[in-house]
Amino acid sequence: MDLLPFLVAGVVVAVVAASIRYRPDVPAFLGLLALVGLGVYRLEEALSFLVSPAVVTLFGAMAIGYVISESGAMELVGSAILSRVRSLPLVALLIYLAAGLMSAFVSDIAVMLAMSAMLSNAARKLKAPPAAYVIPLSFAVVLGGRITMVGTSANIVLLGDYAANTGERLSIFAFTPELLVSYLITAPLLVAAALLIQRFARGIAAPRKMLVMRATVGESLDGADKGEVERKFGVQILARARTLSKFSSVLIRGPIDELPSLLSSKDLSVEPLGERKSDYVELLIVTPRSRLVGRSLYSEPVHELFPVSVIGLVPSGRVYSLETYEFRPGDEILVAGDEKAIGRLASAYGLARSKEQVKLFSPRLAASGVAGLAAAVALSEFLPTALAFIVGALVALLGGGRPVERLYQAVSWDALIYVGSFIAIGRAAAELGLLSPLTPYLSSPAALFAVGLALSNTVGAVPAATLLGPLIAEKSALLALIASIMPLFLPFAHPAVYLAYRQSDMPLKDYLKASSLGLAAAAAAAYIALFLLRI
């Protein structure tokens, strides 16, 4: 009796089980080495899966997505929605739609981080529990990634498997019409789910951080009522006068997460202290031993002593002007400039560098990131997808700045190892016929949809794709499988979902109620789009 299939099955089960408790790349890589030990692969052959076309494509997509996320473009889109819409369900719907479309090209985590803070703040402002809207946002991000063949790791794996099985190269937009319709049906259902989750969700305790800045009143606001301007821009104007005068300088107090939209405004133009020469910004915290304690920017003009500009303050006391405010321990200063210059400033004055990320909109990075994405998409029609996305990544990195310096940190190496290792494990499982018992259930797209839905919500998206991908040889079956991969039910099934779960401070049983609503909505929408409407 050949024990090899049983031993490989044991490796698959052990890797999936261990991935729930530990970093998934570690058990996946150990599983790959176990296959080498069992004689399934030679060592060189096993390691080659770590640089397979699917892994290289994923690397390129991560690099391009990082440049776009660093540009502040996503935050600008979110701020534009919040500044124009006052109804929370409508805000949620628009953010879900925007996040889903972004995640078709950009890292799910980057989209989640950019949009969740803004949606949370909008919910707090309107007296609703943020968790009720943030958790469906994570579902939107996961589901939106399926719209293109490079939007998720699972899709990239399936794109490679299909080419290997059939010899046919698919466009990255091969199933975009069908999956886009499915997503457009899903988004309003996620809003309805958020309204139901509101009944048992608790709020997120983190307070909204407010920044005091100096701004110049534009000509269009001459004579405008202060209260109306405050409501329009979502800021507090720290002035006694009830009406505004053009070209006058005023202090404004606004949420730090809406900084990109505030800086882009011409009606209330933010005027930093010192010339802003960089789009890179950091929050510096005044420590009890800092030289700035009890001093002001008038006596210690850091914006003149260092090549940085002071955009605003997060003060613990009342501010009459940025220059004369005397700092206290715990105050924060938002500065813009070269990262090394900011480091020298922090060191010289005993300031702590905050880990909280604040982004300004950088047209240069946005342009290079979008150009890289456009190049990758266009070239993928003529070149292998992996090569197209490497070229696209190089184009995106032409924008320079922090994305180039931090490319190593930008790429999720653990995800690349996990995907590459699991491709090898899935290939071995398929070649040994471990999935043959499932073959009778894969006879139709509808049956495959059900199997994929079950697997992705138990073993995860990448394992489901690597195990089922080698069995797919028809486009209709591939579409059904992609549509079925929606790992929403368990909070540990997807990084974006886990991030929302951790932020929500929600008991697991309440999360499972929320995820059941989201999964039911997503599955129903996909089934309607694919099998009833037959898009």
Percentage above 70 pLDDT, the chain: 95
Task: Work out the pLDDT band at 1, boundaries 50, 70, 90.
Answer: very low
Residues 438 and 379 in one domain: yes
- For residue 229, pLDDT beyond 80: yes
Residues 441 and 469 in one domain: yes
Task: Work out the pLDDT band at 369, boundaries 50, 70, 90.
Answer: confident
Residues 96 and 8 in one domain: no
Average pLDDT over residues 338-346: 88
Of residues 517 and 403, the one with the higher pLDDT is 517
Q: What pLDDT sits at residue 245?
A: 87
Q: Which residue, 306, 333, 359, sits at the end of a domain?
A: 359
Sequence-ordered list of residues with C-beta below 8 angstroms from that of 412, at least 6 positions apart, any chain: 62, 107
Q: Which residue, 359, 386, 421, sits at the end of a domain?
A: 359
pTM of the model: 0.76
Q: What pLDDT sits at residue 97?
A: 92
Of residues 48 and 381, the one with the higher pLDDT is 48
- For residue 34, pLDDT beyond 70: yes
Q: What pLDDT sits at residue 504?
A: 75
- For residue 44, pLDDT beyond 70: yes
Task: Work out the pLDDT band at 204, boundaries 50, 70, 90.
Answer: very low
Using CA atoms, how far apart are residues 265 and 182, in angstroms rounded to an integer?
Answer: 36
Q: What pLDDT sits at residue 191?
A: 93
Residues 193 and 237 in one domain: no
Q: What pLDDT sits at residue 213?
A: 92
Using CA atoms, how far apart are residues 327 and 286, in angstroms rounded to an integer?
Answer: 7
Residues 385 and 502 in one domain: yes
End-to-end CA distance of the chain: 48
- Write the secondary structure of 279-340 as one string of H (helix), E (strand) and C (coil): CCEEEEEECCCCCCCCCCCCCCCHHHHCCEEEEEEECCCCCCCCCCCCCCCCCEEEEEECHH
- For residue 414, pLDDT beyond 60: yes
- For residue 306, pLDDT beyond 50: yes
Using CA atoms, how far apart are residues 119 and 93, in angstroms rounded to an integer?
Answer: 11
Query: Cβ(442)–Cβ(411) under 8 Å?
Result: no
Residue found by looking up tokens 């699991």 in the block: 422
Radius of gyration of the chain (CA): 25
Q: What pLDDT sits at residue 401?
A: 62
Using CA atoms, how far apart are residues 175 and 158, in angstroms rounded to an integer?
Answer: 12
Using CA atoms, how far apart are residues 475 and 149, in angstroms rounded to an integer?
Answer: 13
DSSP summary character for residue 256: G
φ, ψ for residue 101, nearest 5 deg: -70, -40
Residues 162 and 249 in one domain: no
Average pLDDT, the chain: 84
Q: What pLDDT sits at residue 333?
A: 92
Q: What pLDDT sits at residue 205?
A: 45
- For residue 388, pLDDT beyond 60: yes
Residues 60 and 193 in one domain: yes
Q: What pLDDT sits at residue 82?
A: 73
Residues 376 and 243 in one domain: no
Pair of tokens at residue 53: 């076309």
Q: What pLDDT sits at residue 404?
A: 60
Residues 186 and 272 in one domain: no
* Pairing relationship of beta strands 308-314 and 268-270 according to DSSP bridges: unpaired
Sequence-ordered list of residues with C-beta below 8 angstroms from that of 404, at least 6 positions apart, any chain: 397
Average pLDDT over residues 408-421: 81
Using CA atoms, how far apart are residues 252 and 236, in angstroms rounded to an integer?
Answer: 6
Of residues 123 and 138, the one with the higher pLDDT is 138
- Write the secondary structure of 69-100 as one string of H (helix), E (strand) and C (coil): HHCCHHHHHHHHHHHHCCCHHHHHHHHHHHHH
Q: What pLDDT sits at residue 185?
A: 92
Q: What pLDDT sits at residue 400?
A: 65
Q: What pLDDT sits at residue 313?
A: 92
Nearest to 147 by CA among 177, 192, 170: 177
Q: What is the pLDDT of residues 74-91, one digit of tens each?
A: 877 777 777 777 788 898
User: Helices 88-103 and 176-197: crossing angle, nearest 10°?
Assistant: 140
- For residue 200, pLDDT beyond 80: no
Using CA atoms, how far apart are residues 354 and 119, in angstroms rounded to an integer?
Answer: 22
The residue segments making up the domain with residue 140 are 53-203+365-532
Q: Which residue spans within 102-238 are E strands per DSSP?
A: 210-217, 236-237
Residues 35 and 86 in one domain: no
Of residues 92 and 279, the one with the higher pLDDT is 92
Residue found by looking up tokens 């953010």 in the block: 95
Residues 318 and 379 in one domain: no
Residues 228 and 94 in one domain: no
Secondary structure of residue 361 in the 3-state scheme: coil
Task: Work out the pLDDT band at 187, boundaries 50, 70, 90.
Answer: very high
- For residue 433, pLDDT beyond 60: yes
Nearest to 93 by CA among 104, 83, 82: 82
Least confident of 382-386, 403-407, 433-437: 403-407
Q: Which residue, 359, 381, 405, sits at the end of a domain?
A: 359
Task: Work out the pLDDT band at 533, boundaries 50, 70, 90.
Answer: low
Task: Work out the pLDDT band at 360, boundaries 50, 70, 90.
Answer: confident
How many folded domains does the chain comprise?
A: 3
